[in-house]
Amino acid sequence: MARPLPEGLIAGNDGRARCWWGSSPQIYQAYHDAEWGRPVLDDHRLFEKICLEGFQSGLSWLTILRKREHFRSAFAGFDFTRVARFTPARVEKLLGDAGIIRHRGKIESTINNARHAIEMAREFGSLAAYFWQYEPDPRRRPKRVTRSALAAMNTSAESIALSKDLRRRGWTYVGPTTVYAFMQAMGLVNDHLDGCNAREEAERARRELVRPAPRF
């Protein structure tokens, strides 16, 4: 008889143990296995994720994930140098696009944030160099990541500091909870549960990562 899995883990049809949220539907499973928690240095992907976290506010991530390809098409692949040039007429067109979340404030926030992203990329050399400054010291992270531990960790000192600095720089829809979800997804922290098959894979990628240094 198979031993029960620890709290928060679910065995998939393929026998792999996954975090409770990453077993179904298939689009979520693929996101859990191959993306979430893997370190990202690509500026367009970083910009995409922090914007989509803002769009998610009040919704489920599954809703956003199902619309992600359409979001990418609508927002020029989240190339912030292009998004920054979106006009009021483009905003009105996006408000009529059923393939995305038609929320004026969030659309305008994405354009606003693109303009500030350009400034930050110039200042730091890349968005990656800016964001990875806020990677938490692993010695201050929980020794074991469990579902109950995660339930109490929807922010961190680093996500609060990052949120504060982004807002100081003019970004919007970047509260501490939104920013912490961004950090989890982009691999600045590894919040796959202990025992999840993806945890060690994500941790290996983090160990091998060459962190970008800010250009000052």
- Indicate if the pLDDT at residue 177 is higher than 70: yes
Pairing verdict, β 17-19 and 9-11: antiparallel
- Indicate if the pLDDT at residue 216 is higher than 70: no
Mean pLDDT of 17-22: 93
53 is an active site residue: yes
Residues 211, 199: Cα–Cα separation, whole Å:
19
Please check whether residue 14 lies inside any domain of the structure. no
- Please state, in angstroms and as integers, the Cα–Cα distance from residue 57 to each residue in 50, 61, 78, 125, 187, following that order: 11, 9, 18, 29, 20
The per-residue pLDDT for 18 is 95
- Indicate if the pLDDT at residue 211 is higher than 80: yes
**pLDDT tens-digit readout, 95-138:** 999 999 999 999 999 999 999 999 999 999 999 999 999 999 88
- Indicate if the pLDDT at residue 142 is higher than 80: no
2 pLDDT tier (thresholds 50, 70, 90): low
* Structural domain boundaries enclosing 129: 22-208
Please check whether residue 17 lies inside any domain of the structure. no
108 is an active site residue: no
What's the total number of domains in the chain? 1
12 pLDDT tier (thresholds 50, 70, 90): confident
Please check whether residue 102 lies inside any domain of the structure. yes
pTM summary value: 0.94
Mean pLDDT of 41-62: 96
Please check whether residue 215 lies inside any domain of the structure. no
- Indicate if the pLDDT at residue 3 is higher than 70: no
* Residue of 35, 61, 123, 135 marked active site: 61
Please check whether residue 10 lies inside any domain of the structure. no
Q: How many CB atoms lie within 10 A of CB 203?
A: 16
Please check whether residue 6 lies inside any domain of the structure. no
* Residue of 36, 53, 134, 171 marked active site: 53
Mean pLDDT of 133-150: 86
* Residue of 20, 31, 108, 123 marked active site: 31
Please check whether residue 32 lies inside any domain of the structure. yes
Mean pLDDT of 136-160: 86
- Indicate if the pLDDT at residue 1 is higher than 60: no
- In SS3 terms, the chain reads as CCCCCCCCEEECCCCCEEEHHHCCCHHHHHHHHHCCCCCCCCHHHHHHHHHHHHHHCCCCHHHHHHHHHHHHHHCHHHCHHHHCCCCHHHHHHHHCCCCCCCCHHHHHHHHHHHHHHHHHHHHHCCHHHHHHHHCCCHHHCCCCCCHHHHHCCCCCHHHHHHHHHHHHCCCCCCCHHHHHHHHHHCCCCCCCCCCCHHHHHHHHHHHHCCCCCCCC
Q: In CATH, what number is assigned to the domain containing residue 138? A: 1.10.340.30
Please check whether residue 130 lies inside any domain of the structure. yes
Paired tokens of 127: 């968005």
61 is an active site residue: yes
